């Protein structure tokens, strides 16, 4: 009893324990840390200071991301090395055929392009913009499950800028969000925070496609009830908003939900791009297209 | 057991290993099953040693994890601080639970953590995740006894090495 008392007296005589007791101190510390993290989260969400600090930290820790990517890279290398020769021959054959087919269509396209240009000249319209593509490889480091982001191995050194559109061979993948020295993060179109201005190719109806949080489909919640949309319609980018160049394929309408109680129909779209599987991506550089456009434009400023 | 230095470096090593483990990309199919490695390791240390993992240290680990995983700054810090606090609070009881009961308590801790996270994401106006969101706590529970044994082993080995 006496020992206990002495212990208590000792504990109470020093530190903050004097007022709250040991348990109380711990609770108070917990509260302080919780408050601190809430303040941090707020600042990060509002974009004050924290994102800049985070950018610097990410730069400092860049090697770690490379190290973390090794197992996946090694697995892939192993897979490539152990592939069957017959498989390779078959794939080669297939690629050759594909290339022939594509080069055929490119030939007709060249003629079309020329014709288009002539018509544009006749109309006195601006020239069509050529796009420059840049190759990059996805380094898929898994991140926050709530946001769909991937990392690609091109950064400031390679001339990547924030907001650049990223595509793969099939369609739009996303846009560049952060640029570091040798890598950048890309927000996928399936991210719940991502909105993509699109157009239905068949009818020309403009709307916005939002990410659903799942790579299997996007949502278009603002389509009028009586709009002419049906499954199978191809969706392309509309080019509004100046982020994504117009005319790039995005996906295909999967199903349309028309509830007469609602103001709008909800359209589900299946994206063409291999959002969860692809590895090689292309970065579109609309600025380069714009620059050459401006240079070639005759001087006719108002 | 008094807080000593031999544990410090070991704690840092295991936590760093846990952070790396949670960053390593997995095949798409396995991705939703990825357990909350850092939390498991932090629970182990605050359960087995007294006072080595303070709330401040948990906060620091959380911030590091936030930087690496690209999540909202402070999200994992909050989650780990709450986790360590709960473990410290119930430590006298948790320590003497049989393994299966301890695994159940770990499940409780992890589920509680997921509830806090879902709260924050809901406040941010992000959509409520699918049922896959609740898989990691289950995997964590299943892995807990093995992880416990593994870390015990590592700790014993390092102690032998020292002496």
**Is the pLDDT assigned to residue B30 strictly greater than 70?**
yes
How high is the pLDDT of residue A145? 62
A40 contacts B73? CB cut-off 8 A:
yes
B85 contacts A26? CB cut-off 8 A:
yes
Q: What is the 3-state secondary structure (H, E, C) of B65-93?
A: HHHHHCCCCCHHHHHHHHHHHHHHHHHHH
Question: What's B86's domain CATH number?
Answer: 1.10.1760
For residue A132, what are its two tokens?
Answer: 């420059």
Beta strands in A75-148 (DSSP E): 132-139
Per-residue pLDDT of B80-103, as tens digits, reads: 999 999 999 898 888 888 888 899
How far is the alpha carbon of A141 from chain B, nearest alpha carbon, in Å? 5
For residue A249, what are its two tokens?
Answer: 């394929």
How many residues belong to chain B? 163
A26 contacts B77? CB cut-off 8 A:
no
Which residues of B fall within a CB distance of 8 Å from A194? none
Mean pLDDT of B112-140: 85
How high is the pLDDT of residue A128? 58
Per-residue pLDDT of A43-82, as tens digits, reads: 888 877 777 787 777 777 777 877 877 887 788 788 777 7
Per-residue pLDDT of A154-179, as tens digits, reads: 888 888 888 888 988 888 999 998 88
How many other C-beta atoms are found inside a 10 Å radius of the C-beta of residue A160? 24
**Is the pLDDT assigned to residue A103 strictly greater than 90?**
no
How far is the alpha carbon of B21 from chain A, nearest alpha carbon, in Å? 8
* Interface residue of A32, A57, A146, A180 to substitute, partner B, most B CBs within 10 Å: A146
Which residues of A fall within a CB distance of 8 Å from B20? 64, 67-68
Which residues of B fall within a CB distance of 8 Å from A147? 70
| A144/A158 Cα distance (integer angstroms) | 26
Q: How many domains does chain B have?
A: 1
Q: DSSP states of A213-268 as a string?
A: SSTT-EEEEEEETT----TT-EEEE--TTSSSPTT-EEEEEEEEE--TTSSEEEEE
How far is the alpha carbon of B145 from chain A, nearest alpha carbon, in Å? 26
How far is the alpha carbon of B69 from chain A, nearest alpha carbon, in Å? 5
Residue A3: pLDDT band with limits 50, 70, 90:
very low
Nearest by CB to B28, which of A34, A141, A276?
A: A276
Report the greatest alpha carbon distance in chain B. 54
Q: Residues in chain A whose beta carbon is closer than 8 A to a beta carbon of chain B?
A: 26, 29-30, 33-34, 36-41, 43-45, 50, 54, 57-58, 61, 64-65, 67-69, 71-72, 140-147, 149, 185, 192-193, 212-214, 276-277
- CA A65 to each of CA A143, A283, B51: distance values in angstroms, whole numbers, following the listed order: 11, 21, 32
Q: DSSP states of B93-118 as a string?
A: HHTTS-HHHHHHHHHHHHHHHHHHHH
Domain span holding position B131: 5-162
How high is the pLDDT of residue B111? 94
How high is the pLDDT of residue B60? 93
Residue A113: pLDDT band with limits 50, 70, 90:
confident
Per-residue pLDDT of A263-288, as tens digits, reads: 888 899 999 888 877 778 888 876 54
How far is the alpha carbon of B14 from chain A, nearest alpha carbon, in Å? 16
**ipTM for the assembly:** 0.84
Which residues of A fall within a CB distance of 8 Å from B77? 33, 36-37, 40
Q: pTM here?
A: 0.63
How high is the pLDDT of residue B4? 56
């Amino acid at each position: 009893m006496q020992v206990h008392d002495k212990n208590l007296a000792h504990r109470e005589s020093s530190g903050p324990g004097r007022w709250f007791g040991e348990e109380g101190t711990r609770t108070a510390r917990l509260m302080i840390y919780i408050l601190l993290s809430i303040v941090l989260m707020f600042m990060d969400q509002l974009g004050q200071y924290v994102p800049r600090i985070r950018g610097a930290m990410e730069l400092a820790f860049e090697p770690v991301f490379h190290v973390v990517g090794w197992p996946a890279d090694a697995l892939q290398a192993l897979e490539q090395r152990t592939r069957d020769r017959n498989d390779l021959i078959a794939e080669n054959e297939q690629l050759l055929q594909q290339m022939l087919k594509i080069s055929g269509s490119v030939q007709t396209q060249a003629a079309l392009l020329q014709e288009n240009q002539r018509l544009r000249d006749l109309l006195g319209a601006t020239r069509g913009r050529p796009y420059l593509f840049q190759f990059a490889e996805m380094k898929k480091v898994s991140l926050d499950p709530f946001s769909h982001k991937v990392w690609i191995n091109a950064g400031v050194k390679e001339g990547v800028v924030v907001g650049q559109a990223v595509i793969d061979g099939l369609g739009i993948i996303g846009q560049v969000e952060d640029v570091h020295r040798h890598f950048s993060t890309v927000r996928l179109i399936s991210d719940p925070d991502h909105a993509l201005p699109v157009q239905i190719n068949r009818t020309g109806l403009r709307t916005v496609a939002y990410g659903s949080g799942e790579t299997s489909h996007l949502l278009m919640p603002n389509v009028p009830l009586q709009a002419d949309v049906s499954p199978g319609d191809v969706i392309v980018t509309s080019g509004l908003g100046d982020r994504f160049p117009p005319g790039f394929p995005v996906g295909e309408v999967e199903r349309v939900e028309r509830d007469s109680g609602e103001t709008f129909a909800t359209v589900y779209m299946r994206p063409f791009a291999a959002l969860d599987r692809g590895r090689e991506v292309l970065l579109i550089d609309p600025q380069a297209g714009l620059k050459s456009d401006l240079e070639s434009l005759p001087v006719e400023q108002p | 057991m008094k807080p000593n230095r031999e544990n410090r470096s070991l704690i840092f090593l295991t936590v760093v290993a846990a952070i790396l483990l949670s960053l390593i990309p997995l095949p798409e199919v396995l991705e939703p099953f990825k357990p909350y490695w850092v939390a498991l390791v932090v629970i182990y240390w605050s359960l087995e040693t007294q006072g080595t993992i303070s709330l401040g240290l948990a906060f620091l680990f959380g911030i590091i994890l936030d930087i690496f995983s690209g999540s909202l700054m402070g999200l994992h810090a909050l989650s780990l601080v709450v986790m360590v606090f709960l473990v410290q609070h119930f430590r006298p009881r948790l320590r003497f639970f049989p393994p299966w009961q301890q695994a159940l308590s770990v499940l409780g801790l992890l589920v509680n953590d997921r509830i806090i996270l879902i709260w924050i994401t809901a406040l941010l106006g992000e959509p409520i995740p699918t049922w896959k969101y609740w898989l990691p706590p289950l995997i964590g529970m299943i892995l807990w006894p093995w992880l416990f044994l593994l870390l015990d082993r590592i700790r014993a080995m390092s102690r032998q090495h020292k002496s």
